[in-house]
Amino acid sequence: MKNKLRPCFWTSLFLTCILFTMSCSSGFTTIGARPPENYQKLGKATGESCGTLIGGPTAYNAIPIGLNSRTERAYKNALDNVPGSTGLTNITLEENWIWWVIGSTRCVKISGEAIK
């Protein structure tokens, strides 16, 4: 006699597959406005911001904390470091991450020329 798998097994399997294939995402974001044709250079600016993913082993982290907005916050921090700046040109973006047992922290550093 064949072993028949119950319908609840298939439902559970399906829901588990859906759970593990879902992820957090965000759309493309414009960080800063296009610089005007005539602008004044104010000097080098640097800003950094981090976000965290928690909830289990790194491959299965499911709880983002400040993750999707870290680039915008780093850009704002760079502008705040140079008084009077309204934008950045010649931007460089670096990303680092730190793994810890139940999650990871991802940091973004933005450097560029502050303008007004």
Task: Note down pLDDT in tens along the chain; length 116 residues.
Answer: 455 657 778 788 888 777 766 655 566 667 777 888 899 999 999 999 999 988 766 666 778 888 888 999 999 999 999 999 999 999 999 999 988 888 889 999 999 999 99
Task: Compute φ and ψ for 103, nearest 5 degrees.
Answer: 180, -165
Distance CA 98, CA 106 (A): 6
Q: Which domain holds residue 80?
A: 40-116
- Quick check: helix, strand or coil at residue 46? strand
Q: What is the pLDDT of residue 1?
A: 45
Q: What is the pLDDT of residue 36?
A: 85
User: CA of 6: how far to CAs of 1, 3, 10, 15, 34, in Å?
Assistant: 15, 9, 7, 15, 59
In a domain, 5, yes or no: no
Look at the chain and report how many structural domains it folds into: 1
In a domain, 14, yes or no: no
In a domain, 75, yes or no: yes
Radius of gyration (C-alpha) of the chain in whole angstroms:
22
In a domain, 94, yes or no: yes
In a domain, 49, yes or no: yes
CA atoms within 13 A on the CB side of 18: 6
Q: What is the pLDDT of residue 40?
A: 93
